[in-house]
Amino acid sequence: MKTAIKKFAIDLRVRVGYGTAFFLLLSSYLLTLYANSELLKEAMLVDHSNKIIIGMETLASYLKDAETGFRGYLLMNDPRFLSPYHQSRQASDSVYAALTQETASDQEEHSDLSTLRRLMDKKYELMDAGLADYQRHLFQMSDTVKVQQFFALELMNHIRSVVREVQDMERGRLHTRLAGMAARYQTLNNVIFMSLGLAILMALLGYYTYSHENKARRIADRRVAEYQQQLQERIMDLDTANKELIRMRSIEKFAATGRIARTIAHEVRNPLTNINLAVEQLQSELDLQPAAVTTPSASRRPENGELMLDMITRNSARINGLITDLLNSTKFTDLVYKRVSVNQLLDDTLEGAQDRIHLKNITVTKDYWAGLCDIAVDVERIKIAFLNIIVNAIEAMEPGRGILQIRTLSKDDQCLISITDNGPGIEEESLSKVFEPYFTSKPKGTGLGLTNTQNIILNHNGHIGFESKKGAGTTFIIQLDFA
């Protein structure tokens, strides 16, 4: 109970520490977002002030250019001096429109701009009137033009006054805004540094608590990991032992099948020999009977006898052939070993099944390991084993949709050959009977092909197994030693 309470207290402190650090970081993040938003607004207002100050300065500059061009024309009587005068009017209109848009929300500045617009228009009207009078008096400056220049000077002074007033107002605002931005920036930095310091402090405290208080937990976790590793190793050992047990049971089952087959062969062949001897004796007696027979019934008996004896002979030979096939598929035989490439051996076996592959339009894919060493096998016998599996795979697949996959690789110093089809798979109740003699799902099969295949593989001190799932195909896996 005390251990549980202590553990709960430790977990609570750790959670509180990390929760506080998270809350501080979240608060810092939200404050940063707010401060950045305010800084962005202030920056936009600063940009607004700069635009107005520069715009007012630009307007005054354009008016100066117009006045300079006007005076130059009056003094020099050269139309080229009027170029700045004409250009300034269009340019000043464009700048005024931009300033009007910038000050749309400020009534005071908007009113000053309206006043400035009237003064500018009056200024241009005086200059236009002066130009007309100058041209009317044959390019001679009249007293009227001179008087108008006094009014133009007053207008220009008034314009400069309005421009300075607007600029001074915006410079004051600009100063205030820059000071506000600096203050917010400093406050933001202080908040960030404070939050960062507190977060680091809480993180260090949480780390200390976790490191100090959870030593036992780390030891327990390490022990659990060791136990899990030991359990995994034992599971792997059990899996290996289980596979070896399955292999031994397969060999024992095959050996028991061979003994049963030999016993059946002995018990069947003895009476079968007597039957054959009896048939031969009856055949010889029929051959000794006279050829001429007077009664119709007597003439039919020899013919029926010959037919029956022939039937007995043929079925006796068939029984003897079945017994021979069973013995051949379950007995160990002497092998003629030869070192060959397993990849080439599989290719040669596929050549022997080409007619069936083409007939059912089967797709064959090969995944051969290029670095695979040669194996020592009885070439003809091992070809029979491979061919039996390949033929069964071809017959299990649908025409035009079948895919036969053949793969070779090296694992645990053994050569592994896998032959996979995409057929319907093997029924679950038939999985344990695959290698049994005379077990077959094919209408015309003998049921000895896979039995003979298992016999050949076991004769080579190898192992054969399979994996099958209903509707997902079947894979036969053959293991052979390299040596």
DSSP conformation class of 367: E
Q: Which helix (H) or strand (E) holds 481?
A: strand 474-481
What residues are paired with 411 via a beta bridge? 414
pLDDT tens-digit profile of 40-74?
777 787 787 888 888 888 888 888 888 888 888 87
Tell me how far apart the alpha carbons of residues 436 and 299 are, in angstroms, rounded to a whole number.
49
Residue among 462, 444, 306 nearest 385 (CA): 462
Q: Round to whole Å and give the CA distance between 475 and 467.
A: 5
Residues of the chain with pLDDT under 50: 291-301
The pair phi, psi for residue 383, each rounded to 5°, is -65, -40
Residue 294 has a pLDDT of 45
Token pair 């896996």 is found at 477
| Mean confidence (pLDDT) of the chain | 78
At residue 243, the pLDDT reads 64
CA–CA distance, 451 with 257 (Å, rounded to integer): 10
State how far the Cα of 483 lies from the Cα of 443, in Å rounded to an integer: 40
Q: Is the pTM of this model over 0.75?
A: no
Q: What residue type is 373 in one-letter code?
A: C
pLDDT at 261: 64
3 state SS of 409: strand
The closest of 382, 466, 372 to 411, measured between CA atoms, is: 372
What does the alpha-carbon distance between residue 326 and residue 272 come to, in Å, rounded to a whole number? Answer: 16
Distance CA 456, CA 332 (A): 8
Looking at residue 474, its pLDDT comes to 92
* 46 and 177 Cβ atoms separated by less than 8 Å: yes
Q: Which amino acid is at 149?
A: Q
Q: Please tell me the predicted confidence (pLDDT) of residue 328.
A: 63
What phi and psi, each to the nearest 5 degrees, are found at residue 338?
Answer: -155, 135
